[in-house]
Amino acid sequence: MRLSVVIGVLLFSGLYYAKAQTAKPIRWLFSMSKNEVKQGETVEIIMKAEINQEWYLYSSDFDADLGPTVSSITFVENGSYKVVGKLIPVGAKEKYDSLWGGKIRYFTRTAEFRQKVKILKTNPTLKAMLIYQVCSDKEGKCIPYEENILIDNLKVIAATVSPEKKEQVVATEVSENREEDKSKSKDRLSELESTKAILLQKDRDGNDIAVKQLRTFTQKYGGDK
């Protein structure tokens, strides 16, 4: 009986240890800066992380050529939104890393990134992939990860226009239409004057050229012979 209990404890301990070894040292939470936006408005995707002790996360705002995998985000654009600007880290630390031979920026314990997007349509679906790397000097290893982001519950309301703004828009459109009509009228008048000048031309004998050409055309194509 005792032997079976011991074996059970050892098996449980082994499974717990294996799970602990494979558990991710970082946990993410994604949200929006607003739960309700107007169509055409810009809003931020907020990415917050909790990082296990003894681990750190590389930021996105240092030279990627140094070697570590900088945090980055790639969006799947579908016409319902537009990415505005770059991924912005909030509160990253900085230090010189002799291993990489340059300054790196990183997070410990907690991290936050923000990304602006402009909402173009109602019922938008925001899809993205966050690529990053966490390291532990104590464990002596770095682990790259990819995190899928999906936000499809953002409420979008139609943009409202004040009566004053509507009047301004209407007045502008009326003014633009009037100017366009004036321009077209001038072009038509100029064309008419040019046509008139051509039609009133006379030959050496004083006959109207247009009448002469019309008679020639009529005789050639169906007039009396």
Range 2-28 average pLDDT: 53
16 pLDDT above the threshold of 60: no
More confident residue, 151 or 169: 151
The residues, any chain, with a CB within 8 Å of residue 196's CB and separated by 6 or more, are: none
pLDDT above 70 coverage of the chain, percent: 67
Q: What is the pLDDT of residue 190?
A: 72
Q: What is the pLDDT of residue 5?
A: 35
pLDDT band of residue 119 (cuts 50, 70, 90) is: very high
Return the H-helix or E-strand segment holding 189. Answer: helix 163-199
Q: What is the pLDDT of residue 124?
A: 94
- Residue 122 DSSP code: S
Distance CA 81, CA 88 (A): 18
Mean pLDDT of the chain: 81
